[in-house]
Chain A
Amino acid sequence: MQPFFRGAWAVAARNLRVWRTMALASVLGNFGEPILYLLAMGFGLGRVVPPLDGMTYAEFIAPGLVVSTVMYTATFEMTYGSYTRMAEQGVWDAILATPVTPTELCMGELIYAGVKAGVGAVAVLLVVAAFGLVQSPLAVFVLPLGFVAGVLFASMALAVTTVSKSYEAFNYYFTLVVAPMFLFSGIFFPLEGSPRWLKLFAQVLPLTHVVQVSRACLRGTFDGTAAVHVAVVLAMTCGGVALAAAGARRRLNH
């Protein structure tokens, strides 16, 4: 392995080791919420919602819920989790006294968040599949999608963490960025036919594009439009990673 990835991987492996020792206890806490949404909205609210684009309401929201887990898992991990390692526990200080650089540390954190988010996506996918809401074997692509999108949301959150002076900042981030993304990214209603402002707003939200890819995978309707969404997700991920790395280098004084 190249030395660069060796450092990043050591950091990711440290976090995965800690997660593994608590994994069983944390699975439900990490990934249980989307299931609640599926039950309440999909099967509760869904009874009074007419079929959308040939899908029941539960079928319509399932792909979005799978990737909303990705966003929440990665974001929690890279806000509260990373801030604790950085400012409370001294874990980052200890790491930075070794050959690991701030950039490598940042990459390691993002890889870890991507893996954890990908696992979360698969966990929710299995539940969704058990309810018969998966129509295509293309759904296996939720794993790589979950990893990449996990890195994307992780990088946004980590960029915020590197400019935060306390946990307070994360309340704002969750209220002003994460919650709107959850509600307006086309998980719960089709963006086609929405007011123009909402359509435009949704296009700048990374989660919108991730939801579209996820829906194409679960339904087996992967076409040119979905490919464009994949390209947008990849481009946003590159931008986010560059931003997070720059934030880490600045904050960590190298």
Chain B
Amino acid sequence: MNDPNMNDPNVVIAAESLGKSYGALTAVAGINFRIHRGECFGFLGPNGAGKTSTMRMMQAVMAPTSGTLRVLGLDVAREGKAVRQRIGVCPQTDNLDVDLRVRENLLVYASYYGLSRSERERRADELLVFADLEAKANARVPELSGGMKRRLTIARALVNRPEVLLLDEPTTGLDPQARQQLWQKLRELKESGVTMVLSTHYMEEAERLCDRLVIMDHGKILTEGTPRALVESHVGREVATPSQVRPAGLEDVFLHLTGRGLDA
């Protein structure tokens, strides 16, 4: 497919027939999507849907096995280094540097992007404020709570002032309060203009944060749209359960499309 929109400057990420196999297992089965500058785009799906595989290809740390994927106009397979210079990544499992203290994590990470010494110091201090971790600047990583670790990981992903921020299940494993706090941070980031891509298996998260999203299952995209449009087109505004009538949500969309719940 030779699409002229490939060169649209508002398209930050474009996937065409993107696929990933691990040996005989197909994790991502030829998907197409476009992510626009400044939006928050979500990948919603149950365990094993292929969210992380898709994210890792967008991060240019794992090459696609079929199709093409361009991030910021660059081909991830051939120009991975240039892609990684301009994006930020928050992986599904924390990989903060446990040999380093909190502030050092930011300083050292900034050095991998080639920031000057003074810029590294400035960024580290700004991001400690952003992540509400000034009081923990000299703490060791294992002394942080789960929510603090996540905030530090997100702060670390911002050291290079990325144009796109990729968040793989940013709030999984956090308690409701820590999750709310993190959502607040992510909304602040979105308002600052950074393009955000996140994967999640919480419909509430997708509904609150995403402008547009796709629902994935078994490596395929089932549907795409704004959270509201998806709900309205697939299930209508309300659903009747045996005991009540309540507003319909993305969970119902997923149920409608697959015949099973998201956590199944």
Contact residues of A with B, CB < 8 Å?
A: 3, 6-7, 10-11, 13-14, 17-18, 89-91, 93-101, 253-254
User: Do B99 and A89 touch across chains, with their CB atoms under 8 A apart?
Assistant: yes
Which of B81, B82, B98, B111 has a CB less than 8 Å from the CB of A13? B111
Query: Which B110-129 residues have C-beta < 8 A from chain A?
Result: 111-114
Chain B hits for A89, CB < 8 A = 95, 97-99
Q: How far is it, in angstroms, between the C-alpha of A100 and the C-alpha of B108 when the chains are bound?
A: 13
User: Do A99 and B108 touch across chains, with their CB atoms under 8 A apart?
Assistant: no
Q: How many residues of B contact A (CB 8 A)?
A: 27
- Shortest C-beta distance, B118 to chain A (Å), equals 16
- Shortest C-beta distance, A186 to chain B (Å), equals 37
Chain B hits for A13, CB < 8 A = 108, 111
Does any Cβ of A come within 8 Å of B137's Cβ? no
User: Do B59 and A97 touch across chains, with their CB atoms under 8 A apart?
Assistant: yes
Chain A, Cβ-Cβ closest to B107: A17
Does any Cβ of A come within 8 Å of B70's Cβ? no
- Shortest C-beta distance, B48 to chain A (Å), equals 20
Q: Contacts A89-B97, A89-B98, A90-B93: A97 and B84 contacting too (C-beta < 8 A)?
A: yes
Q: Contacts A6-B114, A94-B97, A97-B61: A254 and B108 contacting too (C-beta < 8 A)?
A: no
Q: Contacts A14-B108, A93-B91, A253-B62: A98 and B97 contacting too (C-beta < 8 A)?
A: no
Chain A hits for B94, CB < 8 A = 90
Q: How far is it, in angstroms, between the C-alpha of A254 and the C-alpha of B81 when the chains are bound?
A: 11
Does any Cβ of A come within 8 Å of B41's Cβ? no
User: Do A99 and B113 touch across chains, with their CB atoms under 8 A apart?
Assistant: yes
User: Do B112 and A18 touch across chains, with their CB atoms under 8 A apart?
Assistant: no
Q: How far is it, in angstroms, between the C-alpha of A13 and the C-alpha of B114 when the chains are bound?
A: 12
Which of B91, B98, B112 has a CB less than 8 Å from the CB of A7? B112
User: Top 10 A-B pairs ranked by shortest CB distance?
Assistant: A90-B95, A98-B112, A10-B111, A18-B99, A94-B95, A99-B85, A97-B89, A99-B84, A99-B81, A10-B112
